[in-house]
Chains A and B, each alone.
Chain A
Amino acid sequence: MSIKVVEGKNIVRDYHVGGGLFRAQRTVHAVKGVSFSVDKGKTLAIVGESGCGKSTLARIITLIDPATSGELFIDGNKVDIAKDGLSKEMRRKVQIVFQNPYGSLNPRQKIGDVLGEPLLINTGKPAEERRDLAMKMLKKVGLGPEHYNRYPHMFSGGQRQRIAIARALMLNPSLLVLDEPVSALDLSVQAQVLNLLADLQDEFQLTYVFISHDLSVVRYIADDVMVMYFGEAVEYGSREEVFADPKHSYTKTLFAATPRADVASIKARLAKKKAA
């Protein structure tokens, strides 16, 4: 059973910048024809440095921005928000969790309202039911009912990221886009949030598109890996393939740059230092 939850065919996104009185307009090709597909319950990791177009691609998948050309299918249906706009159904299906949990929560909104708002906007559920659902979701992500009436500033970074994940899950999405969800977090908190994501994936058969530049996290969480470089997918394959045999030179650079924390490489470094 492999149902494709999201599929992109040759997705292109151009931005037109400049074009003032004295300057000609310039076109930036942020994403240059990327194709991918993710099966239900699987995780696709998109890796690349800042400016490589991975966040642009995330915005297209999340249906925030339209693609300039190419086709995007969500649950088998073709979606083109530039032409047809966005239906409530589609809004429900794809949700996103942002990188910075300090910036993505409204500081003047109580946690209960943060979680209830997606329901308020997208469904006709009465207040009572919204409250119950929010309470249940708080427990799912490892928080308690006592947190319902608190404000975001009363939480730590890891807890806030849990809240952001809870909010994304309120509408039972089939696809969750995670834009560097753990890169602002400490190592131990990062482990907790990654575990939470793995638990939720098992429980709800969620599909993740996981954007990151941390290869050790990607290796842990991903089923498939796509490496992007200047708007192109330079490498795309299963995790084992990509990690065992990186083909593109950029992927190799990326692997070489990732700090290694095993005893053998420390020994090698110390020996090299002594020799120098």
Chain B
Amino acid sequence: MALLDIQNLVVEFQTASGSFRAVDGVSLHVDEREVLAIVGESGSGKSVSMLAVMGLLPWTATVTADRMSFNGRDLLKLSPAERRKIVGKDMSMIFQEPMASLNPCFTVGFQIEEVLRFHMGMAGAQRRERAIELLTQVGIAEPAERLNSFPHQMSGGQCQRVMIAIAIACNPKLLIADEPTTALDVTIQKQILDLLVSLQAKYGMGLIMITHNMGVVAETADRVVVQYKGRKMEEADVLSLFESPKSNYTRALLSALPENAVGDRLPTVSDMLFEPAPSGAAA
């Protein structure tokens, strides 16, 4: 059975000018030990659908789905208190801006230990030991000293490593990474991606990579879901997606990659979307 199973997810936001449908009937599933990439531009609803799974959307959002189950439990019927026990423990998330997602007022050690205290009920010395172990795992040099650092004393890549340490602190079954490397340099991006993939393999986690970077998809994913304007355009395993994309939109995304440029202008998505679909393609 799938670890996370979502059927027909709809998320609507109440705005001053009526309701806005950010996610429109998306179905997807992630198995254990699987890396799923969700690709799309900003506004495609890729982050919103995962925030809905985590229960992190503001009150203006209405979430409905035919099914939304995680590890055999129905997420739609959980009370907020029950959900808080799962979120951060069995299912955790890494965000795009590492600098902004850590609390600037507390040391890194405090923020890692907070998760361990809340979810695992560990005692002080034990927590500290585990925090050092986690920082070593995510590749931070001098972990014991680093526990006393504040986020502003670390670089973006290091902050992202700390975020990953917090996310994997309780050995989650599912890790959701929301554009984990967008704010980082290419060399650091490579390190963070390698780290995520190696941790995923080591602990057998399910991993969802939300990204708009086709290169990141190619380097990490087993299976890919392509979203556009809140709808799922295509779902395929990574090789067939790149070899023979079925939907027009995926083809447009791939040809907009600068390295695939033929001639001296890049085809843009709007050029491709309004061309008639080849027969048999899902548009």
Contacts and interface: CB of A to CB of B under 8 A. Distances in A.
A127 B266 CA distance: 37
B216 interface: yes
A214 B185 CA distance: 8
Contact of A257 (B186, B212, B214, B239): B186
Nearest to A212: B186
A149 interface: no
Interface residues of B, number: 39
B41 interface: yes
Nearest to B188: A49
Interface stretch (B17-25, B159-167, B170-178, B250-258): B250-258
Given A254-B187, A260-B219, A194 B42 contact: no
Contact of A188 (B41, B201, B216, B238): B41
Contacts of B257: 187, 216, 261
B13 to A, nearest CB: 18
Most buried by A among B185, B190, B254, B261: B185
B213 interface: yes
A186 to B, nearest CB: 4
A209 B219 CA distance: 30
A265 B219 CA distance: 8
A198 B242 contact: no
B101 interface: no
Contacts of A267: 239
A219 interface: yes
A270 interface: yes
Given A189-B41, A217-B258, A266 B238 contact: yes
B115 to A, nearest CB: 29
A157 interface: yes
Given A187-B256, A276-B201, A265 B266 contact: no
Interface residues of A, number: 38
A216 B219 contact: no
Interface string B216-260: 111100000000000000000011001100000000111011111
Interface in A237-262: 253-254, 256-262
A194 B268 CA distance: 10
A263 B268 contact: no
Given A260-B218, A262-B242, A266-B218, A254 B264 contact: no
Interface in B175-200: 185-190, 193
A206 B130 CA distance: 57
Contacts of A262: 218, 242, 259
B269 interface: yes
A50 interface: yes
A187 B266 CA distance: 11
Given A194-B258, A259-B186, A266-B242, 11 more contacts: A187-B212, A188-B252, A191-B268, A194-B266, A216-B258, A220-B259, A257-B186, A259-B219, A260-B219, A265-B218, A269-B219
Interface of B: 41-42, 156, 185-190, 193, 201, 212-219, 238-239, 242-243, 252-254, 256-261, 264-270
7 contacts: A191-B266, A214-B186, A257-B190, A259-B189, A259-B215, A261-B259, A276-B201
